[in-house]
């Protein structure tokens, strides 16, 4: 390296950066293919992001940028050439994808591929600051929303910067006023802690007391007869059997047994999915194949792995047809088992 002349050194860097851009494009294409095949689920990861961080080893921000940029290339394939030539960078592609998704969520309407392509054209060859400025003009409702900064400051302390709406902030102030004559700690962190406790006591199955009443319902017939029928609004018109809810005491028992974590394991590596989000009760032997609600037939899976198990049992093509009406599902229930 030290023997290179100045001219050759500069030429070498130019050449390496060109190669880096080509490799980046290749990586994004491969990430898209892994996501299309959902291979991360087979390997015991709950999402493509989870896989990129925990298996591939990217930092969270690097994984997020690549995941979002890959999705942008999927939506606008011609942007791949612009990435390779340096006209569009990874960060800008990721930012545009993030804003598009946020805006689609806000309006409930999809942005067309044509419009996405036009947005990308607006930020070609821009510096990061200039791209942000132009994107803020295009997405005035979502680009200005400040991100929440979370930072670990010690082993048992985390600093979280949160932006409240005026209305939310007034609620916080009102609680502080009501408690001002007491000795209760009215710091923001303590009040939020108290509110979180109230929520978790109500909603977290791991906190709920499990009454030792599993045994009396331990036969299929008893478990079936104890169930309430699924609400009418949640019925799905399929050839599979409609789902009935699992008894709350059995649900709590199964959640406690799982430790509040997805129980899927990759058979080859033994890697257990670490997801604690979107957990659902899964029937090991699907209900459509005669499985019942006895505790031994139940386990906790994240949505990704609940879906994967359903695909294994019924075939991907059939399950794909059930994925769209997800809003019809009863919260926390597997609709296809």
Which one, 264 or 322, has the nearer CB to Zn ion? 264
The nearest distance, CB 263 to Zn ion, in angstroms, is 8
Instruction: Round to whole Å and give the CA distance between 57 and 52.
Output: 6
Cβ atoms of 123 and 135 within 8 Å: the answer is yes
Which one, 84 or 266, has the nearer CB to Zn ion? 266
Cβ atoms of 91 and 99 within 8 Å: the answer is no
Q: How many of the other CB atoms lie within 10 Å of CB of 237?
A: 7
The nearest distance, CB 213 to Zn ion, in angstroms, is 28
The nearest distance, CB 265 to Zn ion, in angstroms, is 9
Cβ atoms of 32 and 46 within 8 Å: the answer is no
Binding residues for Zn ion, rule: CB under 5 A, are 46, 262, 264, 273, 275, 302, 305
Which one, 119 or 281, has the nearer CB to Zn ion? 281
Which one, 79 or 262, has the nearer CB to Zn ion? 262
Torsion angles phi and psi, residue 203, rounded to 5: -110, -20
Which one, 54 or 251, has the nearer CB to Zn ion? 54
Residue 102 CB-density burial (10 A; 0-12 exposed, 13-18 middle, 19+ buried): middle
The nearest distance, CB 307 to Zn ion, in angstroms, is 10
Buried b (16+ CB within 10 A) or exposed e, 311-320: bebbeeeebe
Pair of tokens at residue 188: 């923001």
Give the chain's radius of gyration (CA, Å): 25
Cβ atoms of 304 and 50 within 8 Å: the answer is no
Buried b (16+ CB within 10 A) or exposed e, 51-78: bbbbeeebeeeebbbbbbbbbbbbbbee
Residue 85 CB contacts under 8 Å (≥ 6 apart), including other chains: 21
Which one, 142 or 301, has the nearer CB to Zn ion? 301
Instruction: Round to whole Å and give the CA distance between 319 and 333.
Output: 15
The nearest distance, CB 21 to Zn ion, in angstroms, is 34
Residue 86 Rama label (left phi>0; alpha psi -120 to 50; beta): left
Which one, 82 or 305, has the nearer CB to Zn ion? 305
The nearest distance, CB 47 to Zn ion, in angstroms, is 9
The nearest distance, CB 197 to Zn ion, in angstroms, is 27
The nearest distance, CB 84 to Zn ion, in angstroms, is 35
Which one, 44 or 286, has the nearer CB to Zn ion? 44
Instruction: Round to whole Å and give the CA distance between 165 and 176.
Output: 17
């Amino acid at each position: 390296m030290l023997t290179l002349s100045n001219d050759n050194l500069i030429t070498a860097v130019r050449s390496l950066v060109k190669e880096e851009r080509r490799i980046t494009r290749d990586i994004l294409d491969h990430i898209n293919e892994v996501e299309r095949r959902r291979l991360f689920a087979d390997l015991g990861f709950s999402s493509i992001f989870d896989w990129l961080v925990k298996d591939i080893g990217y930092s969270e921000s690097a994984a997020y940028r690549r995941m979002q940029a890959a999705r942008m290339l999927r939506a606008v394939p011609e942007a791949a050439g612009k990435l390779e030539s340096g006209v569009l960078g990874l960060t800008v592609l990721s930012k545009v994808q993030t804003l598009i998704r946020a805006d689609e969520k806000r309006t409930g309407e999809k942005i067309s591929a044509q419009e996405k392509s036009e947005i990308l054209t607006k930020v070609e060859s821009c510096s990061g600051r200039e791209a942000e400025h132009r994107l803020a003009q295009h997405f005035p409702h979502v680009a200005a929303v400040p991100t929440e900064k979370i930072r670990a400051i010690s082993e048992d302390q985390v600093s979280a910067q949160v932006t409240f709406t005026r209305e939310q902030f007034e609620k916080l102030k009102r609680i502080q006023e009501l408690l001002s004559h007491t000795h209760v700690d009215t710091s923001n962190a303590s009040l939020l802690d108290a509110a979180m406790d109230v929520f978790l006591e109500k909603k977290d199955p791991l906190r709920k007391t499990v009454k030792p009443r599993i045994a009396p319902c331990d036969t299929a017939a008893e478990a079936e007869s104890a169930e309430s029928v699924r609400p009418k609004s949640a019925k799905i018109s399929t050839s599979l059997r409609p789902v009935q809810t699992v008894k709350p005491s059995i649900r709590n028992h199964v959640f406690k047994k799982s430790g509040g974590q997805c129980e899927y394991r990759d058979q080859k590596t033994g890697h257990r999915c670490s997801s604690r989000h979107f957990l659902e009760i899964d029937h090991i032997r699907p209900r459509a194949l005669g499985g019942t609600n006895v505790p031994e037939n139940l386990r906790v899976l994240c949505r990704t792995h609940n879906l994967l198990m359903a695909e294994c049992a019924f075939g991907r093509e059939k399950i794909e047809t059930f994925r769209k009406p997800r809003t019809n599902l009863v919260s926390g229930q597997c609709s296809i088992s």
